[in-house]
Amino acid sequence: MAEISNHDLFNFLYFSKTEKDVENVIQNNPNIFIDDNWLPLGGNENMFGIVRNQQSSPIAALVEKVTNSIDAILTKKCLESGIQPDSNEAPQSMEEALSLFYPDYKNWDLKQNRRRQSEDIQIIADGPTRETSVIIYDNGEGQHPEKFEDTFLSLVRGNKINIQFVQGKYNMGGSGALVFCGKKRYQLIASKRFDGTGNFGFTLIRQRKIGDSVSNRRSSHFEYLKIDNQIPSFPIDYLDLKLHGRNFKTGSIIKMYSYQFPSGYSGFAQDLNQSLNEFLFEPTLPILTVDTKERYPNNKVLELDLYGLKRRLEESQSEYIDTYFSEEYVDELFGKAKVTCYVFKPKTEKYDVKKSKEIIRSRFFKNNMSVMFSINGQVHGSYTAEFITRTLKFNLLKDYLLIHIDCTGMDPDFREELFMASRDRLKQGEEAYALRDYLGKKLRKSHLDEINRRRKDSIGLENEDTTELIKSFAKNLPKDSDLFKLLQNTLKLEEKREEKKEKKPATYKPKTEVKPFLPQRFPTFFKLHNKKEGLNIISLPKNGEKTIKFNTDVENDYFDRSEYSGDLEISILQARRNNETGGTQEGSGKDIAGLLNIVKSSPNKGTIKLTIEPRDELNVGDEIEIKASLTAPGEAFEEIILVKVSDKEAPKEKIPQEDESEDHIGLPKLHKVKEDSWGKLEENGIEMGYDTVMHPVSEGDQLQEIYINLDSKVFLNHRSKLKGEEQILVAEKKYISSVYFHTLFLYMITKRRKYSISVEKETGIENIAIDEYIKDVFDNYYSDFLLNFGMEQLMGALED
């Protein structure tokens, strides 16, 4: 067989559409792809476990490839600046690197500038739509062929561990995509050094299965191609590799054949772009996703840049976002973290609540991540909506709340214990549990509590008295049954509550006129709330916390927007310690974290809250002089406060309360709903329509309210068969009582037996809340059964 040049061999491999095409290239060139030309990836056949135990999803694995591309471009910029990337002169964070190497990066908010920059990292689709191959190109540092084995083909070597401004560390994450490369795991890697020196090199990685191994092995291993003991290479000036808007000159390009995308993924400019936006919440550099006319001839949008979900959320404010806010935490548990909460509108202007929810889930929750933990803008782990229902107990917000936790500023040791090395999930360890508990406590009393309460109150439908309903139902039950006891206890509890209610004479309170808040793009003032003349002194209990309020006129998103944002900076001017030696210690901004735990809240209609809590190091009598500075263009507004640590607060005397355990809970409120009130409910995220029978509303694990739809198709069809007012009234009572009590008992039994309910979706197995499950049961023929096949008929059928 005639010899094939390295250039031709690369072209055959690169322009192969699928793994089958690659297989044909290998079979047609047996003299090149002989066993002696394959070497184990990472220099060791036992590295298979490291590769296999990387990212658990194909999208997260692709994100690692993109992260490596960002690292490569920043490293190239550093070398072009004459700075060694691992030296002290190099940037010490990604943020520093961005400011140094791209001083005009804020111009990327303009679409044409962002598109131009995004062409430096391209993710390109190839092959048939049902067997897509993925090409990732970056205009980064690139590698000489002689360096491939120390970089692209090494594992756990820690090449980047001393470079502070990149994400990667151990040369592991990029290998995670291999397990999603078809059945044969083919991946082509090619590169040329950024300075133009040396040849263009390439190699092919594959998995050697157990059955294909020449030795008696117990597991597969990955291997890469060398020809005559060298990485194949050839000289180039440029190559036409079908990149968008350019030829390949230097940098790196990787092709993953027959990539195993989740079911339902279509074009790169839609589905993949949205998923990458989620996993890259705030990437350092923009990225371009490219599909082809051959794959989707009818698609108008084939190329689309992405710059992270954060910017998409900001751009969608008017259409989808109801409100958003942030809290920054400084705590001895973990160091520093910033939490941003985005609350979506239950119903958009264009669509009803069902369609609105579908669009919101598709565009912002495609990967079922309701709570995201990120480092340098890349998501490293997440919670589902279960955190919102079980930990926060804000069930009404379950489908409309996205929480982002920026962990970049956390203590490195804590952060290392928080995430798996694969950077796609949290560890199930002590630190993760402690952080979850901390976030739950803080967010439950944050602005979210007011938002949840406001949505609940704005529904505003009257509820029915359920006492008579219980009595009529309970009288037919055996007196010694658990169910009878439950209802009896509920009645007693309700009666006691009624007794405690004392009617107070109505008092007239004159309405205070609230001045309209007129927010400014930048603050024009910043003052301590209820400020007094002279130095303002605040007493801080040794075992408690104190919330300090400041007044301003800046927009609510001032701390969080991507463009021209500000901050509230807290520093210590001096600390006077009440100890035997006496004296005054001069303080500085960096000392604040050693003395106080802090919560900084973003502006909310002209109010900024600062909550402080003393750490163990502070003693009663210690004084701290704090400076709070609100940054603004060209100036900073300042307020100085003296904080005195006071005696511990006596624990509040607990008033003995009735035991309202699971067996003593009050019944959920009953709301009878008709078509004219559907709109009111939909405005607050409660779906109602002809196909809806009932909608339960919970708070945490407690069923609070049951909305029963009297204009459901099920009941209207049943009612149409009846004659006379009396029959209709009887049917309505039966419908209400059947739906109400079946909802209640299904809920309580499911909860008491501690069942976990899950459903298979495109993104995998997803846990769903009990109320969501019960609503679905009623919407799918269960209520039809209750109406048309009552207990008498059921018992009779069983006897027959």
Task: Dump strand ranges (E) for 42-139.
Answer: 121-126, 133-138
Non-local (6+) Cβ contacts of 174 within 8 A are 64, 65, 68, 152, 168
In angstroms, the CA 193 to CA 139 distance is 10
Strands of 546-552's sheet in order across: 378-383, 371-375, 401-406, 335-344, 321-331, 596-601, 607-614, 546-552, 526-528
Q: Which fold has domain 308-459?
A: Ribosomal Protein S5; domain 2 (3.30.230)
For position 231, what pLDDT does the model report? 98
Give the DSSP H/E element, type plus range, for residue 599: strand 596-601
Domain 6-86+118-263+283-289: state its class.
alpha beta
- Architecture of the domain spanning 526-646: Sandwich (2.60)
In angstroms, the CA 134 to CA 295 distance is 13
**428: helix, strand or coil:** coil
For residue 677, what are the CA distances in angstroms to 82, 399, 583, 740?
68, 21, 68, 19
3-state helix, strand, coil in the chain (%, to 5): 35, 25, 40
In angstroms, the CA 573 to CA 625 distance is 5
For position 470, what pLDDT does the model report? 63
Residue 571 and residue 612 in contact, taking contact as beta carbons nearer than 8 Å = no
Sign of CA dihedral 440, 445, 450, 455: positive
Residue 793 and residue 786 in contact, taking contact as beta carbons nearer than 8 Å = no
Residue 154 and residue 82 in contact, taking contact as beta carbons nearer than 8 Å = no
Residue 591 and residue 575 in contact, taking contact as beta carbons nearer than 8 Å = yes
For position 797, what pLDDT does the model report? 44
For residue 271, what are the CA distances in angstroms to 281, 400, 626?
16, 20, 49
Q: 10 Å Cβ neighbour count for 554? A: 23
Sign of CA dihedral 85, 91, 96, 99: negative
Q: Output phi, psi for 243, to 5 deg.
A: -75, 165
Q: Around 317, how many Cα atoms within 13 Å sit in the side-chain half-sphere?
A: 12
Chunked into runs of 10 residues, the chain (800 residues) has average pLDDT values of 86 98 96 94 68 74 93 97 95 95 91 95 95 97 96 75 81 76 96 98 91 62 94 98 97 97 79 92 96 90 92 86 95 95 92 88 91 94 92 92 96 92 83 96 95 84 66 60 59 51 55 78 94 88 93 94 90 78 47 84 95 91 93 90 86 54 62 90 86 89 88 89 86 86 86 83 74 86 68 44
For position 268, what pLDDT does the model report? 83
Beta bridge partners of 342: 324, 402
The full set of domain ranges for the chain reads: 6-86+118-263+283-289, 308-459, 526-646, 667-799
* pTM summary value: 0.86
For position 762, what pLDDT does the model report? 65
Residue with tokens 């920054």: 328
Residue 258 and residue 19 in contact, taking contact as beta carbons nearer than 8 Å = yes
Tokens of 140: 């980064």
In angstroms, the CA 744 to CA 667 distance is 8
Q: Around 457, how many Cα atoms within 13 Å sit in the side-chain half-sphere?
A: 6
